[in-house]
Chains A and B, each alone.
Chain A
Amino acid sequence: MAKKASSSTRKTKPPPAESGAFLWTRKDLVGLDELSAEEIVHILDTAETFKEVSTRSIKKVPALRGKVVALMFFEDSTRTRMSFELAASRLSADVLLFTSRGSSVTKGETTIDTVRNVEAMGVDIFVIRHGQSGAPHMLARKVAASIINAGDGQHEHPTQALLDVFTIRQRLGRLAGLKIAVVGDIAHSRVARSNIIGLRKLGAEVVVVGPPTLVPSAIRAMGCEISHSLDDILPQVDVINMLRVQFERFSSNLFPSVREYSRLYGMNADRLASCRKDVLIMHPGPINRGMELTSEVADGPNSCILQQVTNGLAVRMAVLYLVSRGRT
């Protein structure tokens, strides 16, 4: 996939002009499902131009000066929240941070009332992390400000998938024709869903890997293959995206033990040896070291886990910038 503009041509003057004839019109980013391939590529290209900002001695541009970005984290998060906070700061926005712990949510205030009250203070962009699938979609219908989905329940995590796709494109130079394995608890993963949607739209093949209790057969309708054997698919793929194992899944009998899971679906040096030499190992974090990934794999040369985090910043700057223009 050709990049629409090399970063060097724009290095000196972010915020970037709209590339080519393409015009971004959306005020919200609630999921990748709603986006066209062109829109996804446009976000990636815009992120490319923002990457450079982080290399300056003064890491700031005035793109969102005078705008207010409220980070509404109804569910816990470390890297997504900090990444959005830093992204908004670098764009010179005023940033409000909300976490549900210690807020009126504990007094029974509904999500919509909470957001409407904050909106009444004059917010331009809401970044929403919520435990319920569809919460950002509900809010996008009810509030005038922009809504960015920072992860909703088990539904979508669009900026995570965008930074994953961005990182693959950066490392391997393209997406079309690549084969990507997403491994683990597909059923409960918003990262998996957004990745499948984004990768398919950009022409990559996706195979989801895990036990049938964590990989619903109906996920085929999203355009991916299903495999229950990690060993079978390792030699075929260009990228392996390992999802975090959620310990709370044991209690619901979705798999018998950590030990068994790790034996069947954990990535280790032996398994890495059966992969292509330049295979890319990804993980959305936080990692359970020794369970889904051994340290030698997580920290080895095939891993791009920290690069993903770095790229997340540029991608989130691009998304904040684009939705702020989409609403005018």
Chain B
Amino acid sequence: MNDLLITNGRVIDPASGCDEVADVTVARGFIRAIGKARGKAKRTIDASGMIVCPGLIDLHVHCREPGHEEEETIATAAAAAVVGGFTTICAMPNTHPPQDNETAILYVLQRMARASKARVLPVGCITKGRQGEELAEMALMLDAGAVAFSDDGEGVAGSSIMQRALQYTRMIGVSIMQHCQDPGLFAGVMNSGPVAVRLGLGGIAASGEQIMLRRDLELVQRTGARYHVMHVSTAGSVELIRQAKAAGLPITAEATPHHLLLTDAACMQFDPNYKVNPPLRSFDDVQALRRGVIDGTIDCLATDHAPHAKEEKEIEFALAPFGIVSLDCALGLYAKAMVHSGLLDWPDLIARLTVNPAAVINRPLGTLRQNAPADITIIDPGKRWTVNVDAFASKARNCPYNRWRLKGRAVATIVGGEVKFQR
């Protein structure tokens, strides 16, 4: 007998090109078949009118554990993930202490198992202590279960160590995820431009992102290593990535909901919930990012879910930490930015949340092919709902989308064949 039967949904699996009304059969944690269901199952979900797709993957989540459990834990992040329709999240290594060794990687996996919600796959540090000076033990971390490497929060500033890191990750076949920001040009708290000038707040120029990206593209060309651009925020970066891809470099890139939906004008009221790194940019940047998502220059969407405690964000703008949370509501935000705006259809959006990010982290996830792990998200694409941050499964409330009206959200999230969330 099968474990789970999802009947009559619009099954969208970009990895196999499937987009048809069908049943999905799950047994022993794996996809058994797509098509007309045969036989009985222990549990049946009627997905009429719903989209049934591979479990969504978020490449960029800050779980804050260990070190800042008052902001978020692996368990609460994993819970927020399944509420949002995500079956896999990648845990960024800027924890305290940083995830820069085997033991730290194993710790994340252990906490994930205990939470038993979404998969939480650890990203290891590129350099020891995220100091940008010595390479971390990336091969050992890979062995322990790390899926990629990043010093996120900062870019690797030294060109020599960055080159070594790329040479090394090319050998072990994983992606470096870079937070592109030249540290010498990072002196502000919001996007550099007319709004920052008017508000008397220090600006973070687009050139700071693009300078590091340009250098890295040079190094990627030289080393042939896989390279992922995190939270692309500027029109200039989109164009650089577009050209690099056209030249055949092994580049991938992600954009966040906030960079696709908000501009720096949102900072006008000095509300620190709009303070994020990279900062909210101009309208032209938002338009360029959307075009980049449409043409596949930006192949992944990721939240950069960055939780902070309430008191940390209820202070002066310049003193508050950077970060926005959106795991609970991201799917509706992506749909608002890309689908309801008429720019992408659901299969193309889902590709950027499933098969594409799965490729970045080398995991056989993000597909409904037979014998793939049964990570499945069921989406009600027409469901209108209102964001309520106080109801988030995440611990954090630093979210600028409170009371936003959205359309489309996950109604069931299945991880390894188990229903982890159902509305």
**Interface centre among B192, B269, B270, B315, by most A CB within 10 Å?**
B270
Task: List A residues 69-111 near B (Cβ within 8 Å).
Answer: 110-111
Q: Is A67's beta carbon under 8 Å from chain B?
A: no
Of the candidate stretches B146-154, B198-206, B293-301, the one touching chain A is: B198-206
Contact present for B318 and A133 (CB under 8 Å): yes
Q: What per-residue 1/0 map shows which CB atoms of A59-74 lie under 8 Å from chain B? A: 0000000000000000
CB distance from B202 to the nearest CB of A (A): 8
Q: Which residue of B lies closest to A152 (CB)?
A: B200
Pairwise interchain contact A132-B197, C-beta atoms closer than 8 A: no
Indicate if the CB atoms of B315 and A155 lie closer than 8 Å. Answer: no
Closest A residue to B267 using CB positions = A134
Q: Mark A180-194, 1 if CB is under 8 A from B, else 0.
A: 000000011010010
B319 on interface, CB distance cutoff 8 Å: yes
Using a CB-CB cutoff of 8 Å, which residues 172-209 of chain B contact chain A? 192-194, 196-201, 203
Cβ-defined contact, B200 with A155, below 8 A? yes
Expressed in whole angstroms, the Cα–Cα distance for A221 and B198 within the complex equals 8
| A134 with B197: CB separation less than 8 A | no
List A140-175 residues whose CB lies under 8 Å from chain B: 152-156
Please classify how large the interface on chain B is, using the bins under 10, 10 to 19, 20 to 34, 35 or more. Answer: 10 to 19
Given the interface pairs A133-B199, A155-B199, the reply to whether A218 lies near B316 with Cβ below 8 Å is no
Evaluate whether A153 and B318 lie within 8 angstroms (CB atoms) in the complex, with A133-B270, A137-B270, A138-B270 already known.
yes
Interface size on A, residues (CB 8 A): 26
Give min CB distance, B253 to chain A, whole Å.
27
Q: A218-B193, A221-B194 are in contact. Are A112 and B315 (CB under 8 A)?
A: yes
- State the Cβ distance, B361 to closest chain A Cβ, in Å: 39
Q: Point out the residues of chain A lying under 8 angstroms from B315, CB to CB.
A: 110-112, 138
Interface string of A249-289 (1 = CB under 8 A from B): 00000000000000000000000000000000000000000
Asked if A219 and B197 sit within 8 Å, CB to CB, the answer is yes
Nearest Cβ on chain A to B196's Cβ, whole angstroms: 7
> Is B317's beta carbon under 8 Å from chain A?
yes
- Residue from the list A138, A154, A218, A220 in contact with B200, Cβ < 8 A: A154
B314 within 8 A of A: yes
A220 to chain B, nearest CB (A): 8
A222 interfacial by beta-carbon distance below 8 Å: yes
CB distance from A13 to the nearest CB of B (A): 40
Q: Smallest Cβ distance from B117 to chain A, in angstroms?
A: 34
A134 and B198 form a contact (CB under 8 A):
no
- B residues within 8 A CB of A38? none
A-B contact pairs, 6 of them (CB 8 A): A112-B314, A133-B270, A134-B199, A152-B200, A216-B197, A222-B194
Interface residues of B (CB under 8 A from A): 192-194, 196-201, 203, 269-270, 311, 314-319
10 further A-B pairs in the complex, CB-CB below 8 A; given A134-B199, A153-B318:
A132-B318, A133-B201, A133-B318, A134-B316, A193-B198, A218-B197, A220-B194, A221-B194, A222-B194, A222-B197
